[in-house]
């Protein structure tokens, strides 16, 4: 009935013997690509509750649709008058009215992305957020203290460090820091699935302990083939009640107190903080960064190696050792001699 009335309305608009011809022209124009805006792209923000007539007017004003009549004919042809969805839409290049209506009916809203690499602290994540178009670093830091989001996982959490899963997130333009943090915690919960929770229970580890160990693994190596071995080193040291002696925990301790200047000294290794695993045995009080999925798995699936030590080869990889004597030899080779060999010879 509504379609018939629309056709009658179109005929009434054009009138006379040319009515059928012009009505057909309107019908065909719904298939024709059009672009009336000067730039490469244009954005149209459809607020919730906007009528279809007002949506048409917005599209015409933006130069996405040629006029209201062709928009109404397009709605009639598509039968999707009640399906148009709110949101911000990006249009780039000529499109027919039917294509525009299809985009709105399917809710193809334009999403802006923000990417958080693995291994960032929540302060570093706040800096990334502050450089995006979503908000300020201060807003992200405030949202990262919403411990109620992880209360079911970790009753000891005083912030969301370690639970803000590192990934690329696509969000609408009006998303807030709270929206993003909620999405990041939700993604962590999806990754830390029932299988990992069962493994944690089998190893008698809390979620907080798993995430803390995973954050140490993440900061020590970025190589997939090394994660389980680094995990084995830390698990072996924990079983023997040896200090973990993890440099990134010292850096985190210094960062907490605003003392880290980019260099780690021997004196720093004696810094009195519960996060300093040179001074205090066992795991630090909580995560020191955002571990990825591979780090979480490695923390619960260490290799069968008996290594207790490792040192960097200065290329992203490490050499591992079972004894202190062997480790000291590796340190001489890869930390002392390596840099001595690279030292430029003074000209005479």
Using DSSP bridges, classify how beta strands 87-91 and 42-46 pair: parallel, antiparallel or unpaired.
Answer: antiparallel
- Per-residue tokens: 41: 């792209």
* Helix (H/G/I), strand (E/B), else coil: 174: coil
Classify residue 348 as exposed, middle or buried by CB count within 10 Å of its CB (0-12, 13-18, 19+): exposed
**H-state helical runs in 133-223:** 137-143, 177-191, 194-202, 207-220
Q: Report whether pLDDT(201) > 80.
A: yes
Only one residue has tokens 């298939």, namely 31
Return the sign of the alpha-carbon dihedral for residues 8, 12, 15, 21: negative
Q: Phi, psi (5° rounding) for residue 300?
A: -105, -10
Q: Report whether pLDDT(13) > 90.
A: no
| CATH tag, 24-105 | 3.30.1490.480
Confidence of residue 60 (pLDDT cuts 50, 70, 90): very high
Mean pLDDT of 61-89: 94
**DSSP secondary-structure letter at 81?**
T
pLDDT digits (tens, 9 = 90+) for 18-50: 556 666 777 888 899 999 999 999 999 999 999
* Helix (H/G/I), strand (E/B), else coil: 279: coil
Q: Report whether pLDDT(179) > 70.
A: yes
Q: Report whether pLDDT(248) > 80.
A: yes
- Residue of 61, 65, 107, 62 lying closest to 84 (CA atoms): 107
**Alpha carbon 35 to its chain's center:** 34
For residue 134, give every residue at least 6 positions away whose Cβ sits within 8 Å of its Cβ, in sequence order, or none: 112, 114, 171, 175, 176, 177, 180
**DSSP secondary-structure letter at 120?**
-
Residue 171's alpha-carbon distances to 124, 143, 319, in angstroms, are: 20, 16, 42
pLDDT at residue 311, as a whole number: 95
Three-state SS letters, 111-133: CEEEECCCCCCHHHHHHHHHCCC
Provide the mean pLDDT of the chain: 91
pTM: 0.81
Neighbours of 306 (CB within 10 A): 10
How large is the C-alpha radius of gyration of the chain?
Answer: 30
- For residues 94 and 32, give the distance between their C-alpha atoms in angstroms, rounded to a whole number: 9
- For residues 16 and 338, give the distance between their C-alpha atoms in angstroms, rounded to a whole number: 92
Domains 24-105 and 112-191 share a fold: yes
Q: Report whether pLDDT(125) > 90.
A: yes
- Per-residue tokens: 192: 């830390």
- For residues 54 and 68, give the distance between their C-alpha atoms in angstroms, rounded to a whole number: 10
Q: Identify any residues that bridge with 113 across adjacent strands, giving them in sequence order.
A: 170
Of 26 and 282, the one with more pLDDT: 282
CB-facing half-sphere around the CA of 296: CA atoms within 13 A:
27
Classify residue 11 as exposed, middle or buried by CB count within 10 Å of its CB (0-12, 13-18, 19+): middle
* Helix (H/G/I), strand (E/B), else coil: 10: helix
Of the chain, the percentage scoring pLDDT greater than 90 comes to 85
Query: Domain boundaries in the chain?
Result: 24-105, 112-191, 220-307
Please state which of the four CATH numbers 3.40.50, 3.90.120, 3.30.1490, 3.30.1370 is assigned to the domain occupying 112-191.
Answer: 3.30.1490
Mean pLDDT of 138-164: 97
- For residues 202 and 219, give the distance between their C-alpha atoms in angstroms, rounded to a whole number: 25
């Amino acid at each position: 009935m509504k379609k018939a009335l629309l056709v009658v309305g179109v005929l009434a608009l054009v009138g006379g013997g040319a009515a059928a011809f012009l009505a057909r022209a309107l019908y065909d124009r719904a298939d024709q690509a059009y672009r009336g805006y000067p730039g490469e792209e244009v954005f149209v923000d459809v607020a919730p509750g906007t009528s279809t007539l007002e949506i048409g007017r917005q599209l015409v004003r933006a130069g996405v649709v040629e006029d209201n009549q062709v928009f109404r004919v397009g709605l009639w042809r598509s039968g999707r008058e009640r399906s148009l969805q709110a949101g911000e839409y990006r249009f780039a290049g000529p499109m027919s009215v039917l294509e525009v209506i299809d985009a709105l009916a399917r809710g193809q809203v334009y999403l802006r992305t923000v990417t958080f690499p693995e291994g960032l602290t929540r302060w570093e994540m706040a800096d990334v957020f502050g450089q995006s178009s979503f908000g300020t670093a201060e807003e992200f830091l405030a949202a990262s203290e919403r411990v109620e989001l992880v209360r079911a996982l970790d009753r000891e959490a005083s912030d969301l460090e370690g639970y803000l899963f590192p990934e690329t997130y696509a969000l609408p333009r009006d998303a807030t820091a709270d929206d993003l943090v909620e999405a990041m915690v939700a993604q962590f919960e999806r990754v830390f699935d029932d299988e990992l929770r069962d493994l944690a229970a089998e190893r008698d580890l809390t979620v907080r302990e798993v995430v803390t160990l995973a954050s140490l693994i993440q900061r020590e190596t970025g190589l997939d083939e090394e994660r389980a071995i680094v995990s084995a080193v830390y698990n072996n040291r924990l079983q023997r009640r040896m200090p973990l002696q993890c440099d990134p925990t010292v850096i985190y301790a210094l960062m907490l107190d605003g003392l880290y200047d980019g260099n780690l000294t021997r004196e720093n290794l004696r810094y009195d903080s519960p996060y300093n695993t040179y001074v205090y045995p066992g795991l630090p009080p909580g995560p020191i960064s955002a571990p990825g999925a591979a780090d979480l798995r490695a923390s619960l699936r260490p290799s069968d190696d008996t290594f207790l030590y490792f040192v960097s080869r200065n290329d992203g990889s490490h050499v591992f050792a079972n004894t202190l004597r062997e480790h000291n030899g590796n340190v001489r080779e890869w930390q002392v001699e390596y840099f001595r060999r690279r030292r430029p010879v003074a000209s005479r």
